[in-house]
């Protein structure tokens, strides 16, 4: 709900359990932030930000800078006296870089829709507040957009910047969100990693100065992630105040906190200003991408479940978002590049007998692609591998009762390819400088319309050639050597953002023209796992590291923000191809169940014992997937923290059913059973253990816990399914 106190010029944004309050300082018309936290009754909390009116510049011009350097601005600017991190920086034709914004007007809009083709949240249960600010010197208008959800404790932020002058302006920084917090001691939680160990949780005390995470790789990256949270030191999964932030974007980002000399923190989130400039001609406007804010006074778990509900109900559009995904088998770790039609059909035949529902053909089916040194960009079928072409293979797979999916990497081109030989200038490069290779490939300059259109025609030709029901869209290297024949020097600073917009354009065309398609995004595993991608694909490949034990930490870090239904997770072969570790087949299945669930192995060659377990795992998936996909997620224990065991549970929305997963990662000589306290149950209801028949009251399970006997051996796991009438 959005309200405006016209007498006191105060805006109040209420979600079910939180309030966000800011207002206009009447004479100066500065937009000042007052409060964000647990829902409050009134709106007049101006005293929290302006305890002494005599400090206002309208009454004390001699110390204007003192006010500007400590006032909690709703959208701070650079160059006029606020020396903290700005959200907006504008350069005029003389090179002056300063802006000062004053309140002009506002409007409240019922319902929230997505503007244009860019990713964003939506919903009839949300309202939008647009606050218009103006800089009279620059003739610049800035519209702050707030999306307020009435069914989930989330608020979104974005910005529209308009040049209403007759002279060009240059934007050098347009962040989507700025929030000045109180002076409590906070700790900062971020996610970091690298290839095969994405989204590791990092928690540390907040220190004075600047800290945060960012990407300059053209993608959100393995190394950092566009999420952070400020938490009080006592915060656990169940207790403590949490402010969580996430950016709905798939390119360069900056997520920062600045702790100033008065112990107040400023959080900023948006497109990374490094390498960014945007020329704003007279009459033109720039739209920032959306950022999400979530507050929880019940610990990290409440924050997590809020993000999950928001993304499941208000971001993911796919028809699969509320449906079971087909259980797929991917041939990558089974064959790598060494496959043909006969081999794929042998996998499909055995998979069909085991209850698997889709065959996905990974890299190596096109052009002269016998290894990863060539042929990217040549999206024509390699009939030496696939006699009869793609349609023959797909038809034969369909006859076996399986759907068919395919891997593509449309953004890339190999130096050894027909496409590169014909159009070497289509690769991103700086004229006169040798461009650097990664994985022996270049990136296509999709900011050029002719390159984008060729790429789309290539994708469409593949899609139209056979009954393809799933696409794995990969992207295996970062952007570098930024140059473009399509952009002059005045617009080259727009390249990174224009590239992301081009990727969005291609993926939007794909899911629009093929509305029943299941699209899964991927980027060397999880390097582009972000909300922007979820808008186009309901699932993203979580990591190339399919080792079940490593996946515990990777999936824990991912699930702190993203729904389990979005995490691409497979049962793979052992010894694992990345680590060489061997994990019991049953455990691999239990861990993959906390994701989309599929297989990445050669089913024709695995041990009979494992092969015979697949139909049981298929049955397990169909039995529990609705619960896993739609239920509330609770983190019970973390092997990352205790070094011994891992546990989580998913609870049905009506709280009458739950599934607990427990993994004893490292066995120790201790004969006492593990004790796990459950969450989210109805205290006075009896829950029956499906396997043992034992019954427990919900409050006993939550306060006293349930015992799990220790396993013999490492990486052993168990599922506990509980239901009540």
Report how far residue 371's alpha carbon sits from residue 364's, in angstroms, rounded to the nearest whole number. 7
Q: Please tell me what DSSP assigns to residue 324.
A: P
Report how far residue 657's alpha carbon sits from residue 70's, in angstroms, rounded to the nearest whole number. 50
Report how far residue 254's alpha carbon sits from residue 208's, in angstroms, rounded to the nearest whole number. 18
Asked if 331 and 361 touch (Cβ cutoff 8 Å), the reply is yes
Active site residue 425: no
CA 611 to chain centre: 34
Report how far residue 221's alpha carbon sits from residue 219's, in angstroms, rounded to the nearest whole number. 5
Report how far residue 334's alpha carbon sits from residue 601's, in angstroms, rounded to the nearest whole number. 5
Asked if 257 and 266 touch (Cβ cutoff 8 Å), the reply is yes
User: In Å, how far are 290, 427, 459 from 454, measured between CA atoms?
Assistant: 30, 13, 9
Helix or strand holding residue 88 (H, E): strand 88-91
Report helix, strand or coil for 555: helix
Report how far residue 257's alpha carbon sits from residue 177's, in angstroms, rounded to the nearest whole number. 12
**How many other C-beta atoms are found inside a 10 Å radius of the C-beta of residue 234?**
10
Asked if 572 and 560 touch (Cβ cutoff 8 Å), the reply is no
Place of tokens 């070094």: 643
Report how far residue 526's alpha carbon sits from residue 443's, in angstroms, rounded to the nearest whole number. 18
Report how far residue 648's alpha carbon sits from residue 107's, in angstroms, rounded to the nearest whole number. 43
Token reading at 258? 């600045």
52 Cβ contact list (under 8 Å, min separation 6): none
Asked if 722 and 683 touch (Cβ cutoff 8 Å), the reply is no
**Is cis: bond before 139, omega within 30 of 0?**
no
Report how far residue 238's alpha carbon sits from residue 235's, in angstroms, rounded to the nearest whole number. 8
Query: 258 forms bridges with which residues in the sheet?
Result: 210, 266
Of 309, 363, 544, 646, which residue is the catalytic one? 544
Query: 268 forms bridges with which residues in the sheet?
Result: 178, 256
Report how far residue 596's alpha carbon sits from residue 621's, in angstroms, rounded to the nearest whole number. 9
Asked if 259 and 289 touch (Cβ cutoff 8 Å), the reply is no
Active site residue 474: yes
Report how far residue 31's alpha carbon sits from residue 4's, in angstroms, rounded to the nearest whole number. 13
240, 242, 250: which is closest to 154 by C-alpha? 242
End-to-end CA distance of the chain: 36
Query: 295 forms bridges with which residues in the sheet?
Result: 243
Size of the chain, expressed as the number of residues it contains: 725
478, 532, 493, 503: which is closest to 408 by C-alpha? 503
Q: Where are the alpha helices (DSSP H) in 574-679?
A: 585-592, 608-630, 639-642
Asked if 234 and 242 touch (Cβ cutoff 8 Å), the reply is no
Of 14, 362, 474, 602, which residue is the catalytic one? 474
316, 312, 325: which is closest to 621 by C-alpha? 325
Give the per-residue SS3 of 432-485: CCCCCCECCEEEECCCCHHHHHHHHHHHHHHHHHCCCCEEEECCCCCCCCCCCC
User: In Å, how far are 115, 145, 516 from 321, measured between CA atoms?
Assistant: 21, 27, 12
Report helix, strand or coil for 14: strand
> Which sequence positions are flagged as catalytic?
474, 544
């Amino acid at each position: 709900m959005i309200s405006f106190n016209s007498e006191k010029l105060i805006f109040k944004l209420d979600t079910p359990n939180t309030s966000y309050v800011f207002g206009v300082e009447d004479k100066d018309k500065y937009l000042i932030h007052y409060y964000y936290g647990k829902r409050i009754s009134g709106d007049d909390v101006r005293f929290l930000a302006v305890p002494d009116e005599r400090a206002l510049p309208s009454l004390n011009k001699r110390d204007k800078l003192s006010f500007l350097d400590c006032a909690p601005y709703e959208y701070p600017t650079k160059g006029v006296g606020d020396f903290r991190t700005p959200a907006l920086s504008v350069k005029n034709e003389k090179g002056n870089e300063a802006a000062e914004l004053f309140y002009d007007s506002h409007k409240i809009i019922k319902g929230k829709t997505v503007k244009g083709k860019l990713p964003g949240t939506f919903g009839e249960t949300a309202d939008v507040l647009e606050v218009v600010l103006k800089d009279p010197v620059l003739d610049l208008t800035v519209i702050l957009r707030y999306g307020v959800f009435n069914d989930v404790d989330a608020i979104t932020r974005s910005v529209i910047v308009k040049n209403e002058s007759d002279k060009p302006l240059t934007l050098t920084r347009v962040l989507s969100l700025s929030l000045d917090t109180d002076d409590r001691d906070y700790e900062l939680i971020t996610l970091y990693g690298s290839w095969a160990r994405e989204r590791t949780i990092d928690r540390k005390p907040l220190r004075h100065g600047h800290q945060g995470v960012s990407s300059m790789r053209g993608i959100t990256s393995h190394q950092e992630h566009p999420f952070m949270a400020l938490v009080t030191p006592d915060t656990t999964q169940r207790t403590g105040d949490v402010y969580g932030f996430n950016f709905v974007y798939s390119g360069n980002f900056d997520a920062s906190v600045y702790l100033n000399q008065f112990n107040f923190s400023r959080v900023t989130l948006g497109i990374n200003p490094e390498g960014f400039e945007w020329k704003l001609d007279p009459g033109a406007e720039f739209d920032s991408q959306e950022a999400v804010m979530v507050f929880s006074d019940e610990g990290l778990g409440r924050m997590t479940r809020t993000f999950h509900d928001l993304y499941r109900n208000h971001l993911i559009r796919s028809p699969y978002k509320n449906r079971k995904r087909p259980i797929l088998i991917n041939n990558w770790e089974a064959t790598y590049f060494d496959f043909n039609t006969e081999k794929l059909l042998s996998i499909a035949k055995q998979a069909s007998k085991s209850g698997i529902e889709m065959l996905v053909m990974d890299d190596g089916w096109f052009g002269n692609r016998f290894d990863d040194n060539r042929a990217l960009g040549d999206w024509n079928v390699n009939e030496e591998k696939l006699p009869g072409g793609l349609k023959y293979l797909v038809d034969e797979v369909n006859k076996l009762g399986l759907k068919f999916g395919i891997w593509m990497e449309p953004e890339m081109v190999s130096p050894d390819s027909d496409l590169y030989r014909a159009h070497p200038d289509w690769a991103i490069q700086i004229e006169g400088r040798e461009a650097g290779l990664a994985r022996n490939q270049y990136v296509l300059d999709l900011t050029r319309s002719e390159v984008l259109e060729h790429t789309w025609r290539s994708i469409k030709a593949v899609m139209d050639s056979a009954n393809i029901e799933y696409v794995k869209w990969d992207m295996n290297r970062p952007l570098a050597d930024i140059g473009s024949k399509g952009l002059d020097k005045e617009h080259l600073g727009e390249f990174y953002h224009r590239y992301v917009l081009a990727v969005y354009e291609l993926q939007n065309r794909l899911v629009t023209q093929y509305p029943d398609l299941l699209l899964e995004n991927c980027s060397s595993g999880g390097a582009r796992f972000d909300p922007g991608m979820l808008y186009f694909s309901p699932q993203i490949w979580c990591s190339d590291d399919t080792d079940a034990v490593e996946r515990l930490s990777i999936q824990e870090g991912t699930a702190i923000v993203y729904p389990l239904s979005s995490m691409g997770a497979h049962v793979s072969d052992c010894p694992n191809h990345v680590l060489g570790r061997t994990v019991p087949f049953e455990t691999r299945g239990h861990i993959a169940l906390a994701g989309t669930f599929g297989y990445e192995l050669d089913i024709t060659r695995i041990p009979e014992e494992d092969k015979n377990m697949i139909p049981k795992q298929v049955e397990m998936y169909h039995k529990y997937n609705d619960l896993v996909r739609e239920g509330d997620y609770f983190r019970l224990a973390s092997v990352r923290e205790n070094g011994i065991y891992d546990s989580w549970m998913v609870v049905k929305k009506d709280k009458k059913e739950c599934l607990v997963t427990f993994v004893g990662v490292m066995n120790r000589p201790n004969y006492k059973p593990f004790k796990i306290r459950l969450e989210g149950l109805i205290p006075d209801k009896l829950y029956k253990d499906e396997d043992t028949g034992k019954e427990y009251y919900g409050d006993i399970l939550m306060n006293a816990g349930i015992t799990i006997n220790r396993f013999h051996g490492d990486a052993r796991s168990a599922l506990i399914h509980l239901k009540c009438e």
